[in-house]
Structure formats: structure tokens, C-alpha cells
Amino acid sequence: MAIKNISSKSLPVVNLQPDLRSARGTRIQRGLAIRLLRVVTLILLDIISVSLAWKLAVFYGTPLPSPWTQNTSFLLLIITVEIGVIAVKGLYHPGKHRRNYFGLIQAISLSEVLLLLVAFLYEPETYISRSTFLIFWVLSIAFVCLSRLFIDIAIKIVREKGAARCPVFLIADIEEKEEYIKLIEKEKCYIVQGISDYTCLDRCNREATFEYLREQGIVEAFVSWSAIKNRLYVCWHFHSAGIILQILPQKNEVHHPKSVFSMIGEVPCMRIPAPIITGSDFWVKRCFDLFCSIILLILLSPIYLFIAILIKLDSPGPIFFRQNRIGLHCKKFKMWKFRTMVVNAEKLQAELEAKNEIKDGVLFKLKNDPRITRIGKFLRRYSLDELPQLFNVLLGEMSLVGPRPLPLRDVERFQTMHFIRQEVLPGITGLWQVSGRSDIENFEDGVKLDIAYIENWALWLDMKILLKTVRVVLQKTGAY
């Protein structure tokens, strides 16, 4: 079933979820219950296999007085070690991982060596007979591998009859869809529940697409490379919907930081898994922003007062400068700064446009801007003029880290591809600012850094950028 395309000429203001990276509410990953059931079943079968192997080894091996053969608590230790090593090796993961019999042999053999080491260190004078050890090792491998083989055969038979298949959605160009449907169906573990072309990922259609996927209970989405090559940031929509994204065919030079590689038939795919609980990372970020902004406002209040006095003594006009900026989903908000320019600075900008040093003209930057006051130069040099934006963070209009909010004059010159910047909360600092600040003379280079931040976003990346910001500010790199 193909979903209906929705056309819209109204751009760019959209009233969607609070941030591209935040789910609309908290969701559990699609298909999680089935995956958990599969893992629990495999673990139970492995426990039964290991227990049976141990009992038979003790029965048929050379009897020796040892707590290992006489105390059932040691059997729990044996099971824990074996299951733990198998889990660490990733052999409970779906697909080829659970069918990795060579990996199972390695994991079981390693666990046997660990158990021998534990036995020697625990009680070196008490022995386990060699025959018991060897029988247990061979039977553990045989029983675990046979139970996996039995599960694989049973699943294959059920899937051959069209049952126990994962519902997926295909997004591809019309000329590619037949080829991809054959490729997906060849795996016999998916059922294609809907098909659409690349336009369903367009900005105006995106919300309707993901609403449809949620209603249909789609677990995985297959998207052709040609449909997503210029839209890699939409992985956040699949991420926050709890849907696993499969990109096929995979080009060798393309690699998303959150991706793992898998095979669909003989075609390599870039698989971007969904989190178990969506939206949680973003709300941790928001709580971090709130906590830090409150603490910083309290600690920096004497500096605020000192700067306010200097501004008043330096030139006539207000202490703070509140300018309309374009924030999340292109909504206007008032951004706070310490005033660093003369009172009529915005009116004078029209006269200075011809001297703009940004090559493509989207932004306005002038190194020796005559509108800047004496104290303003100092404040800008150390980015102290940005401190009042902590109030914007407190109000939820900005984040500590994110793409910088731009004036309306700059956003009006955006091309469609630039608007991805507006789908996340703007920040006081960002990847652009710690990678050169005002020394970046081409707006496109700055946008690439903003998009790189959005695609690679994680809490640790925010921490890294904040630490780099301190260093950049102290070094006065690219500031004017």
C-alpha cells in the first residue's frame, strides 16, 4: 500500500514535536517484545543444554570427590559463566549472529578455560577429572549448537508459510521498487506492508509519513540510497519513532555514525537501529540545560552586574540588547545579549551591507565593524556578550549546545536544504563555533558543521563541544 503524498507551499514554520531529536512522548522500540521473547527463548535453551551437558559429564566421567560435582551452587556458576560469555560475544543478536556456530564453539571453549581457572584459584587441591571436563566441553558445544539449529529450522518452516515475519515499509523510486521488493522477500523474514517514493520524506509530507508508519505498526523501514542520500538527517525521525532504518544498497563511501552493517541477500545495508526507549536522551539534555543555566546564573551574577556597570559608563543606551532571532521550527523569539553596539546599529547595517565579508552573503560579518563600542569589542573577544542567553536556555527557547540562532535577514536567504538547522533547538555554542567561529567565511561550510552536529548528536558530543568552547574563548580564536 502506498501512502498518499501531501503537497504544501507553506514553508518554513511548522508546529511539530519540540525538537528533531525528541520523540513525541516516550515510546518503546517497535517489535521489542518479539525480540525479547527470542532472546529469552535462546537463553532458556542454552541453560537447559549446559545443565544437561554437566549432568551427563558428571555421570559418565571419572568420579572424584569435588565440590564442583557435589554442590549444585557450582552449577549456577557454570551456567552464569557460559551464558555470560555467549552474550558478550553477541550471539543472542538476531540474524546471522545467533547462527554463528563457530562463534558458539569459541564462546563455550573460552568459558571452559575460565571455569578451569576459577576452579584452580578457588581450591587448587580439589580436582575435576579430565574425563568430566572433556565430556562437558564436547556435550556443551553439541547441545547448544543443536538447540540453535532446531530453533533455526523451526523458524524457517514457520516463515516459509508466511508467519512470524517482521512488518516493513519500503521507500524507493518507482523504477527501483520491484528490484528491492524481490530482494527483501528473498530473506523470507519480512513482509512488505507498504511502499512509497522518496517524496514521502519531503519536509511537507514527513509528519504524515511517520504517523502512517506508527499506525501500521511498522518495525523496520527500507529506504533506497537514492531516496535518502540528501536527507540523512531524517534518521532522527525513524529513531524517535522507534523504527529501525535500513538503507540499501549501501555505498562504500557512506557511513552514518550510528549505523551497523548487515546483509540483505547479497546486498550490504547500512542499518541504523532505534533505541529501546525513544526520546529519553533529549530530555536528559534538557534537564542538563536547566540545571547548568540555573547554577551559572547564580555563580555569574556578580560578573553580570560588573558588565552592566561598564556598558552604562561606556556609551548611552540599554544594558541588554534583545533581538528577534529565528529558532526552533522557524519561530521567532527574543534573544538576550549584552549590548555591544551603538543604539541605532540595526539601521546602520543597511549602509554596511556592501562591505559584508561573508562570501555568499547569507550571514553578515564585518571584522572592523564601526558600530561596535569600546567595551563591546572586549565583550565580543571573550564571548561575554552571550552570557544573558542563559535566560533563553532557562525559558526553553535555546539549548547550551546547538546551531546558532540567526536573524530574520539571514534566514530569508536560506535555501531549502538549510532549514534542517531550524529543526533542533538553537544553542549558545555549537560545532560551528568551536571549529573556527567567525573565521569561517562561507555559510555553506558552517551549515555542513551544523548538519554534522545534528546527525552525530549524542550527550557526550555536547559535553565535548562545551569543553572546547571554554578553550576557544580563552584563546580568542576567530572572535570579533
| 6 pLDDT tier (thresholds 50, 70, 90) | very low
pLDDT of 304 strictly over 90:
yes
One-letter amino acid of 301: S
Each residue's pLDDT tens digit, 98-117: 888 999 999 999 998 888 88
User: In this prediction, what percent of the chain has a pLDDT beyond 90?
Assistant: 24
Q: What is the spatial distance between Cα 180 and Cα 186, in angstroms, rounded to a whole number?
A: 10
Query: What is the fold of 165-277?
Result: Rossmann fold (3.40.50)
End-to-end CA distance of the chain: 56
Residue that the C-alpha cell 523496520 belongs to: 220
338-371 pLDDT, tens digit per residue, is 998 888 777 777 667 666 656 555 666 666 777 8
CA distance 404 to 382: 17
> 313-330: buried (b, 16+ CB within 10 Å) or exposed (e) per residue?
ebeebeeebeeebbbbbb
Angstrom distance (rounded) from CA 280 to CA 293: 20
Among residues 474, 420, 480, the alpha carbon closest in space to that of 449 is found at: 420
Read off the C-alpha cell for 388. Answer: 544573558
pLDDT above 70 covers what percent of the chain? 79
Condensed to tens digits (0 to 9), the pLDDT of residues 447-461 reads 888 888 887 788 888
* Residues 127-150: b if buried by 16+ CB within 10 A, e if exposed: ebbeebbebbbebbbebbbebbee
Q: Which amino acid is at 321?
A: F
**Considering only CA atoms, which of 469, 29, 467 is closest in space to residue 239?**
29
Set of cell numbers at residue 188: 523470507
| pLDDT average, residue stretch 134-138 | 91
At 56-97, the pLDDT tens digits run 988 887 776 776 766 777 788 889 999 999 999 989 887 777
Provide the pLDDT confidence category of residue 17 given band limits of 50, 70 and 90.
Answer: low
Domain boundaries, the chain: 32-160, 165-277, 280-475
Alpha-carbon distance values, 190 to 182, 239, 356, 410 (Å): 11, 20, 56, 46
**Coil, strand or helix: which one is 334?**
strand
Q: How far apart are CA 434 and CA 461, in angstroms?
A: 12
CA 320 – CA 316 distance, rounded (Å): 12
- Residue 306's Cβ-count burial label (10 Å; 0-12, 13-18, 19+) is exposed
Cell of 358: 561573508
| Cβ–Cβ under 8 Å, residues 296 and 390 | yes
Residue 301 class from Cβ within 10 Å (0-12 exposed, 13-18 middle, 19+ buried)?
exposed
The pLDDT, as a whole number, for residue 8 is 36
Distance (Å, rounded) from C-alpha 354 to C-alpha 465? Answer: 34
Comparing CA positions, the residue from 412, 403, 404, 409 lying closest to residue 346 is 409
pLDDT at 364: 64
Strand order of the β-sheet with 320-326 is: 332-338, 320-326, 406-407
Number of residues that make up the chain: 480
- Which one, of 121, 130, 144, 1, lies nearest residue 61 by Cα? 130
CA distances in angstroms from 246 to 91, 94, 193, 201, 274, listed in the order given: 21, 15, 15, 15, 11
Q: Residue 143: what pLDDT?
A: 95
